[in-house]
Amino acid sequence: MSQLAHTPSEALPEASAPFRFLNWRQSWRLAVLVGCLLLAYAPVLAHLVRQWSDEPDYSHGFIVPVFALWVLWERRDELRAIRPRPHWSGLAVIVLSLVLLVLGTFGAELFLQRISLPLLIAGLVLWFRGWPTLRASAFPLLVLLLAIPFPGVIYFQIVFPLQILASRLATWFLHAIDLFPVLREGNVIVLSNTRLEVAEACSGVRSLLSLLTIAVIYSYIAERRVLVRWLLCMLVVPIAIAGNAGRVIFAACSAEMAGASAVEGWGHFLSGIFLFFISTLLLVLAHVLILAAGRRLGWLHPDSGGEQ
């Protein structure tokens, strides 16, 4: 009877183990701090969520925070095992992030406002838990950057070169198959009965972040080798460029056979969805080819499943 009565008290520490990650003596202070920060960032988050909702190219932003939280939950045992070593340098990171928030607010620069939030979270982790915890949670914190759209200064620097590249690739392919006459003038493809402009949506910039998000999530779930993960993420750029060139080729063929109306409205939208699906399949195919080539060349062991 004494052993049975003593068993529940022994089980309590194990049952409460998931909560040892938190320092309950400071939990009320942390709750007040988080509440104040949520109030400060409420307009920034509201505008960001509206952009995710209104612009399909950034709709992947909804799944990025969920994935980051899932990664933290998956690593909860590792994080709990790290001894807290609060570091005062975290306060400097917090101040820097708040300065970026203020500068972005007064300068009407959305990117500065948004980028300050992941930086603020990193500063809080460093201040309350220290460098070991920050290093262990670096990946989900960096993943949050995928939910932030490109700043305008970067976007407009790369969008036109990618428009030219997509039009060149499409024109080269159309010349190679030689189904109908085609001429390129900058980012405009001249057909026999219409002119097809390679707009910003067909440059590949907007689909790049979405495809990179899929690559990060897919490689984290399906692959444990760090090298292979990096290769898959780097392949996103050529896959996105090829996918958007394919979209231009499809639009040119449709416009030549059915007229310009075939590449407007729903036709243009559905072609983008279809080719993005094809790009995702190419990413999976690239994973299969990397594994096959790695095992054939000997730098991936056939039975190796751990990180390398």
Is residue 284 in a domain? yes
pLDDT value of position 177: 85
Residues 132, 174 share a domain: no
> pLDDT 10s per residue in the chain (308 long)?
444 444 444 443 433 343 344 455 556 766 777 777 778 888 899 999 998 988 877 888 899 999 999 999 999 888 889 888 888 888 899 899 989 999 988 877 888 899 999 999 999 899 888 899 999 999 999 999 999 988 877 777 787 788 888 888 888 998 888 878 888 887 788 887 777 777 666 666 667 888 899 999 999 999 888 889 999 999 998 888 888 888 888 888 877 777 666 666 666 667 677 778 888 899 999 999 998 888 887 776 654 444 44
What is the pLDDT of the chain when averaged over all its residues? 80
Beta bridge partners of residue 189, listed in sequence order: 184, 196
Convert the pLDDT of each residue in 26-53 to its tens digit: 567 667 777 777 788 888 999 999 989 8
Question: Do residues 82 and 136 lie in contact, with contact meaning Cβ atoms separated by under 8 Å?
Answer: yes
Same domain, 126 and 189: no
Residues 9 and 83 in one domain: yes
Tell which of 123, 146, 169 closes a domain.
Answer: 146
Tokens standing for residue 279: 């790009």
Same domain, 141 and 164: no
304 inside domain: no
Question: What whole-number distance in Å separates Cα of residue 78 and Cα of residue 93?
Answer: 24
Answer whether residue 83 is part of any domain.
yes
- What is the predicted pLDDT for the residue at 203? 60
146-149, Cβ contacts within 8 angstroms, sequence gap of 24 or more: 146/60, 146/61, 146/64, 146/209, 146/212, 146/213, 146/216, 147/48, 147/52, 147/60, 147/61, 147/64, 147/65, 148/48, 148/61, 148/111, 148/114, 148/115, 149/51, 149/58, 149/111, 149/209
Q: How many CA atoms lie within 13 A of 40 on its CB side?
A: 19
CA distances (Å), origin 137, targets 49, 76, 141, 287: 24, 10, 6, 26
Chain CA centroid to CA 50, Å? 18
Predicted local confidence at residue 204, as pLDDT: 63
Give the pLDDT score at 21: 47
Residues 6+ apart with CB under 8 A from 261: 267
* Distance between start and end Cα atoms, the chain: 52
Q: What per-residue confidence (pLDDT) applies to 70? A: 95
Coil, helix or strand for 301?
A: coil
59 and 190 inside one domain: no
What is the residue range of 141's domain?
2-146
Distance separating alpha carbons of residues 67 and 65, to the nearest angstrom = 5
Task: Copy the structure tokens of residue 95.
Answer: 């101040």
8 A C-beta contact, residue 240 and residue 204: yes
pLDDT at position 57, please? 75
Tell whether 92 and 128 lie within a shared domain: yes
- At 74-105, the pLDDT tens digits run 998 888 898 888 888 888 998 999 899 999 88
Q: Are 119 and 73 in the same domain? A: yes
**Domain count across the chain:** 2
